[in-house]
């Protein structure tokens, strides 16, 4: 099999130990990835804003291990977390073919999120992206590559194997994942940066209004699987790919209203697909619909470009350009906060991607 990057097969070099650390942000998809096949390959291309405030910090102390087999300990927010540890172990064992060195290391991993774990914010994207950046750096250090610059293609490929949307979290600003004729260098295997983006989208806001922090009744992974039997799936994949072409043009032109209309349509389509899956399910809550109504009325009455999108959950992501920040703040406080769980809002913005911590 050929890979879009080099595999370091050097597993018997002289090294003792080392430490790496990376901060990776979450991301919010504008055109959604919903449906997959093969080994974590998307059924359609997706495009997202990389965020900044909602992020995961991951540190790994690594040591050479005498006997073969990956060794691992994992702390989440300074506490043992068996479920996360098992997930990480399974993930890392599944990628040994790309990182043979993992079979000869003991990894002491510690990870924490900037947002509360139970906030209803998907943390798999930032978590898988941060661990992937760490593994790529360890691999480079052991191969004797002195540059601190990580092979982002490789990191995105690895993150994708952990969680599809994580592939986009290692890319600054705007990221696209999935082979698409309108995006240069795009691939189903890793995400790429979207070029030719109007400045208005480089400082865009995404305020996450928490309606419920409860665990989702159906995971994203299960939701993707239900697309296989959904009678609308083929039409949906085609629609998403057409929207990438439209969005590419909108991003270049700076047309905030066209952007917002497309983002809202995507959110509603995602949830419609859930509702017409077999079995059908609903992740929106009454507060989600209340907020959607408020946002649309506000826009109609004021003409101020404040839009929303949704993840696979009930929480509203309020999308708006930086120049209406003051209006957005008033609108949130006066009309939306009452629908949130204990007034919880995570204020976020488009960000610069991974940050090296050590």
Nearer to ligand DP6, 201 or 298 (CB): 201
- Smallest separation (angstroms) from ligand DP6 to the CB of 137: 23
Q: Does 32 bind ligand DP6 (CB under 6 A)?
A: yes
Torsion sign across C-alpha atoms 282, 283, 289, 292: negative
**Window 260-279: contact mask with ligand DP6 (x via CB under 6 A):** ----------x---------
How many other C-beta atoms are found inside a 10 Å radius of the C-beta of residue 13? 12
- Smallest separation (angstroms) from ligand DP6 to the CB of 270: 6
| Residues 59, 65, 68: CA angle, nearest 5 degrees | 120
The count of chain residues that interact with ligand DP6, using the rule CB under 6 A, is 16
Q: Does 220 bind ligand DP6 (CB under 6 A)?
A: yes
Binder among 29, 121, 274, 336 for ligand DP6 (CB under 6 A):
29
Nearer to ligand DP6, 37 or 93 (CB): 37
Which residue in 147, 122, 105 sits closest to 24, CA to CA? 122
Nearer to ligand DP6, 219 or 330 (CB): 219
Whether omega before 217 lies within 30 degrees of 0, making that bond cis, reads no
Spatial CB neighbours of 242, under 8 Å, sequence gap ≥ 6: none
3-state secondary structure labels for all residues of 209-258:
ECCCCCCCCCCHHHHHHHHHHCCCHHHHHHHHHHHHHHHHHHHHHCCHHH
* Segment interacting with ligand DP6 (CB under 6 A) among 11-19, 27-35, 74-82, 274-282: 27-35
Helix (H, G, I), strand (E, B) or coil at 152: helix
**Measured distance CA(90)–CA(158) in Å, rounded:** 13
Q: For residue 228, what are its two tokens?
A: 């296989």
Binder among 8, 26, 33, 259 for ligand DP6 (CB under 6 A):
33
Binder among 55, 180, 224, 271 for ligand DP6 (CB under 6 A):
224
Spatial CB neighbours of 283, under 8 Å, sequence gap ≥ 6: 216, 217, 218, 271, 274, 312, 313, 314
Q: Which helix (H) or strand (E) holds 135?
A: helix 124-142
Nearer to ligand DP6, 163 or 187 (CB): 163
Binder among 21, 25, 120, 164 for ligand DP6 (CB under 6 A):
164
**Window 172-211: contact mask with ligand DP6 (x via CB under 6 A):** ----------------------------------------
Nearer to ligand DP6, 105 or 166 (CB): 166
Q: How many helices (H) and strands (E) does the chain have?
A: 8, 14
Q: Which residue has the tokens 């506000």?
A: 298
Nearer to ligand DP6, 29 or 51 (CB): 29
Look at strands 105-113 and 71-76 and give their pairing: parallel
* Segment interacting with ligand DP6 (CB under 6 A) among 84-92, 219-227, 248-256, 297-305: 219-227
Q: Does 46 bind ligand DP6 (CB under 6 A)?
A: yes
Nearer to ligand DP6, 107 or 312 (CB): 312
Q: Which of residues 73-132 bind ligand DP6 (CB under 6 A)?
A: 122, 124
Nearer to ligand DP6, 101 or 227 (CB): 227
Which residue in 121, 269, 272 sits closest to 207, CA to CA? 121
Q: Which of residues 303-342 bind ligand DP6 (CB under 6 A)?
A: 311-312
**Measured distance CA(74)–CA(197) in Å, rounded:** 39
* Segment interacting with ligand DP6 (CB under 6 A) among 159-167, 185-193, 205-213, 279-287: 159-167
- The residues that touch ligand DP6, with contacts defined as CB under 6 A, are 29, 32-34, 46, 122, 124, 163-165, 220-221, 224, 270, 311-312
């Amino acid at each position: 099999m050929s890979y879009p990057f080099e595999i370091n097969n050097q597993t018997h070099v002289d090294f003792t130990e080392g430490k790496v650390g990376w901060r990776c942000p979450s991301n919010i998809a504008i055109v959604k990835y919903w449906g997959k096949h093969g080994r974590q390959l998307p059924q359609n291309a997706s495009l997202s804003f990389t965020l900044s405030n909602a992020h995961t910090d991951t540190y790994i102390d690594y040591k050479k291990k005498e006997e073969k087999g990956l060794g691992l300990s994992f702390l989440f927010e300074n506490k043992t977390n068996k479920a996360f540890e098992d997930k990480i172990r399974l993930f890392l064992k599944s990628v040994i073919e790309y990182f043979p060195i993992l079979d000869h290391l003991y990894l002491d991993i510690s990870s924490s999120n900037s947002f509360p774990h139970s906030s209803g914010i998907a943390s798999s994207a930032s978590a898988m992206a941060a661990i992937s950046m760490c593994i790529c750096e360890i691999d480079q250090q052991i191969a004797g590559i002195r540059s601190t610059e990580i092979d982002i293609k490789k990191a995105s490929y690895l993150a994708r194997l952990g969680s599809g949307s994580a592939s986009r979290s290692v890319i600054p600003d705007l990221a696209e994942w999935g082979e698409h004729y309108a995006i240069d260098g795009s691939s189903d295997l890793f995400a790429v940066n979207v070029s030719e983006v109007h400045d208005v989208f480089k400082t865009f806001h995404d305020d996450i209004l928490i309606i419920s922090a409860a665990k989702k009744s159906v995971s994203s992974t299960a939701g993707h699987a239900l697309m296989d039997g959904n009678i609308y799936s083929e039409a949906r994949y085609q629609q998403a790919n057409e929207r990438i072409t439209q969005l590419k043009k909108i991003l270049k032109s700076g047309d905030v209203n066209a952007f917002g209309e497309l983002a809202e349509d995507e959110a509603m389509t995602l949830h419609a697909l859930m509702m017409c899956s077999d079995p059908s399910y609903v992740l929106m809550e009454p507060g989600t619909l209340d907020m959607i109504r408020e946002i649309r009325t506000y826009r109609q009455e004021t003409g101020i470009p404040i839009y929303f999108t949704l993840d696979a959950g009930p929480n509203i992501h309020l999308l708006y350009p930086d120049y209406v920040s003051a209006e957005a703040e008033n609108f949130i406080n006066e009309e939306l906060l009452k629908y949130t769980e204990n007034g919880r809002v995570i204020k976020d913005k488009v960000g610069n991607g991974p940050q090296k911590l050590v």
